[in-house]
Structure 1
Amino acid sequence: MSKTLHSDEVVSNVFLFMIAGYETTSTALAYCTYILATKLDIQDKLIKEIHEIKWNNYNNEDIYDIATNLRSLDLFVREVLRMYPITSKGQIRKCNQTTNISGYIIEKDSIIQPDIFSIHYNPNLWGPEDPNLFIPERHEIKRHPIAWMPFGVGPRHCIGMKFALMELKMCLIQLLRQYRILPGDNIEQGFKRQEKIVIQPDAIYVKFEKHSI
């Protein structure tokens, strides 16, 4: 086996890094802005939490630690990713040997793909509140370890999960420190999702209003 990379391998991996590292995060951020613009009470709660921080006492290197400890922001991001998972294809696996799981025989070379939407909207996993409602506080309750899987689960889960979550939080912190996000014209009409490489809306129409403080 050659120890050098062929140009096709380099190109394909760079493409994968771009899709996995940027397209997914930008799509998740788009969903976040949609929720913030359409649920102003939730946005006000996040703004209040962020504005309670005495930013003059910190430098840019401290934002990581701050973002880690913003509880409402963490619950918000997790609920966004529950209701709007970025991809369903990332969880596809190939069975490398015939196995029996709870009485079900899975043949070697079978392709397995969990139905992430059925899992994320299962009332038995996410009740007693209606899973179709956006309720960040539902994540304060301990759930089944595989009830939330926007990044996959197990040893093959997304290696960039922690980085992606922190990237989202730090971006939202900087955004909400300066602006209030309001719904733009035709926001619902633009919010039509389709799955290509990722599951993304056609467009998110929002307006930004500078804070007066």
Structure 2
Amino acid sequence: MNAQASSSGGVRDDRKTAAFIAENLSPFPVSRVAHDFAFAREILRTPGVNQGRGVASQDFGNPDHISFFFLDGEPHRKRRSSVASYFTPKAVLTRYRPLMDRTMDELVAELQAKGSGVLDEMSLRLASNITAEVVGLTNSDGRRLAQVLRDLMNKNPALGKPRLYQFLHGIFAGWYYKRRTKRLMDELYFEHILPAAEARRKEPRDDVVSHMAKENYSRQAMFIECMTYAGAGVSTTREFIVMCCWQLFDHPDVMERFLKGDESDQFAIIDEILRLDPVANYVYRQSSIDIPESVSGSPVKPGEEFAVNIRDVNTDPSIVGENPFKLDPERAQRMKNTGAWMSFGDGPHRCPGSQIALHETRVFLDRLLRVPGIRLARKPDLILSVQSQGYELRGAIVTCDRR
């Protein structure tokens, strides 16, 4: 199923992925699932409720080289503060916006020359270019880097399939994917990370690779840091851009409003689309403290695990108002919510690059949808992503007038 019915029993439903996720994805075995906004916010904001599924306890070697994404508490706050300059509004406007414009110039020119394009490949190019700039992987072939990151993040196609399928796939094809992954990992390090690190040792910049080179990160730590940024900055943004295109092509009135609106109007539409179809469905946490008077009505105990259902939280009527499944660009203003609901998480681990992702998406949409003759010739296929606990969108094709 590609989309929900436009209405059911008089209730409008503009979500594209809700039924697919409900049918194919369940949370990891945990004690409790947070479905409402108030309880989710409590779980995500309370000190002592940390990242779940053992993420923070993994051994990455030197503790000083652990990515801030995996830290909690004061160590997380200090490390996150040290990279804050990468994500400021000034950085978006002065460092990343010119690159967004140049990339879109290339993508639009290629699209018009050919007359068609694959949306997820186009969004991958933009997301990879911007993430490479943030990280500092700018001393190698950017197009090849995007392909390597794509192939590494695709990983093993058996993930998420029935256990018998995984077992048989492991016997007959496991060796191939292990060898393939090893080759891609070596290529990422030797062809992209290492040249950037050597360049930054001679001429440091304000980026992640410069920090890693200065602190003498190990090969493993550098690889993990780069892949963490890739997962956060490339894979989710790639999917979300395609989702926005899909929704706007299906809602010409909203597309017209987007193209006629100013930046604030455009961001409101983007936030509303992300509210309905967040790329990641679950965020996991584990409590190390007692919360005897939780807003949920039941006390929280140390060791208890939680899955925050972002999709349910984003459609909680107590926060979003009536018709929670309707695409309504005026919702945030009416409900006096100026953020992106909980689509980027909340609390100390809220996505640090959310503003970059929103600007990338706005620039992509504003340029693509103004191309003469642009239309959606093929809708995307929905694919389950176990890694992101959400969806992927593949194979959507746009066509336009050729030049």
- With the shorter chain as reference, the TM-score category is 0.7 to 0.9
Distance of aligned partners of 1:111 and 1:152 in 2 relative to their CA distance in 1, 3 Å threshold: same
Which residue of structure 2 aligns with residue 148 of structure 1?
Answer: 341
Counterpart pick for 1:44 among 246, 249, 256: 256
Q: Is the 8 A contact 1:193 1:201 kept in 2?
A: yes
Q: Which moved more, 1:171-180 or 1:14-23?
A: 171-180
Counterpart pick for 2:273 among 63, 69, 80: 80
Counterpart pick for 2:289 among 72, 97, 100: 97
Distance of aligned partners of 1:206 and 1:35 in 2 relative to their CA distance in 1, 3 Å threshold: farther
Equivalent-residue separation in structure 2 for 1:195 and 1:170 (angstroms) = 26
Offset at residue 146 of structure 1 (A)? 9.1
Counterpart pick for 1:24 among 220, 229, 236: 236
Offset at residue 14 of structure 1 (A)? 1.3
Determine helix, strand or coil for the equivalent of 1:87.
coil
Distance of aligned partners of 1:124 and 1:147 in 2 relative to their CA distance in 1, 3 Å threshold: farther
Q: Quick one: percent identity of the two aligned structures?
A: 20
Equivalent-residue separation in structure 1 for 2:349 and 2:393 (angstroms) = 30
Q: Which moved more, 1:139-148 or 1:173-182?
A: 139-148
Q: Is the 8 A contact 1:120 1:148 kept in 2?
A: yes
Offset at residue 179 of structure 1 (A)? 4.6
Which residue of structure 1 aligns with residue 309 of structure 2?
Answer: 115
Which residue of structure 2 aligns with residue 208 of structure 1?
Answer: 399
Q: CA RMSD in A?
A: 2.8
Offset at residue 211 of structure 1 (A)? 10
Equivalent-residue separation in structure 2 for 1:74 and 1:144 (angstroms) = 13
Q: Is the 8 A contact 2:243 2:393 kept in 1?
A: no
Q: Is the 8 A contact 1:121 1:131 kept in 2?
A: yes
Does structure 1 residue 7 correspond to structure 2 residue 201? no
Q: Is the 8 A contact 2:376 2:397 kept in 1?
A: yes
Q: Is the 8 A contact 1:180 1:210 kept in 2?
A: yes
Distance of aligned partners of 1:122 and 1:32 in 2 relative to their CA distance in 1, 3 Å threshold: same
Equivalent-residue separation in structure 2 for 1:41 and 1:145 (angstroms) = 22
Structure 2 letter corresponding to 1:170: V
Aligned length: 188
Give the structure-1-normalised TM-score.
0.75
Equivalent-residue separation in structure 1 for 2:386 and 2:341 (angstroms) = 22
Q: Is the 8 A contact 2:375 2:398 kept in 1?
A: yes
Distance of aligned partners of 1:127 and 1:206 in 2 relative to their CA distance in 1, 3 Å threshold: farther
Determine helix, strand or coil for the equivalent of 1:177.
coil
Offset at residue 203 of structure 1 (A)? 2.5
Determine helix, strand or coil for the equivalent of 2:308.
coil
Offset at residue 40 of structure 1 (A)? 1.5
Equivalent-residue separation in structure 2 for 1:80 and 1:141 (angstroms) = 16
Determine helix, strand or coil for the equivalent of 1:104.
coil
Structure 2 letter corresponding to 1:203: R
Offset at residue 74 of structure 1 (A)? 1.1
Counterpart pick for 1:195 among 371, 382, 385: 385
Q: Deviations over 1:95-117 (max 9, x none)?
A: 12222223422222222221212
Structure 2 letter corresponding to 1:20: A
Gaps of 5+ in 1: 50-68
Structure 1 letter corresponding to 2:318: N
Structure 2 letter corresponding to 1:98: D
Gaps of 5+ in 2: 1-60, 65-215
Equivalent-residue separation in structure 2 for 1:83 and 1:180 (angstroms) = 28
Offset at residue 167 of structure 1 (A)? 1.7
Equivalent-residue separation in structure 1 for 2:373 and 2:265 (angstroms) = 17
Structure 2 letter corresponding to 1:196: V
Offset at residue 174 of structure 1 (A)? 2.2
Equivalent-residue separation in structure 2 for 1:147 and 1:164 (angstroms) = 12
Q: Which runs of 4+ in 1 moved over 3 A?
A: 1-6, 143-147
Q: Is the 8 A contact 1:33 1:206 kept in 2?
A: no
Q: Is the 8 A contact 1:34 1:206 kept in 2?
A: no
Higher relative CO (Cα under 8 Å, sequence separation at least 6) belongs to 2
Does structure 1 residue 136 correspond to structure 2 residue 326? no
Q: Is the 8 A contact 2:242 2:393 kept in 1?
A: no
Q: Which moved more, 1:172-181 or 1:134-143?
A: 172-181
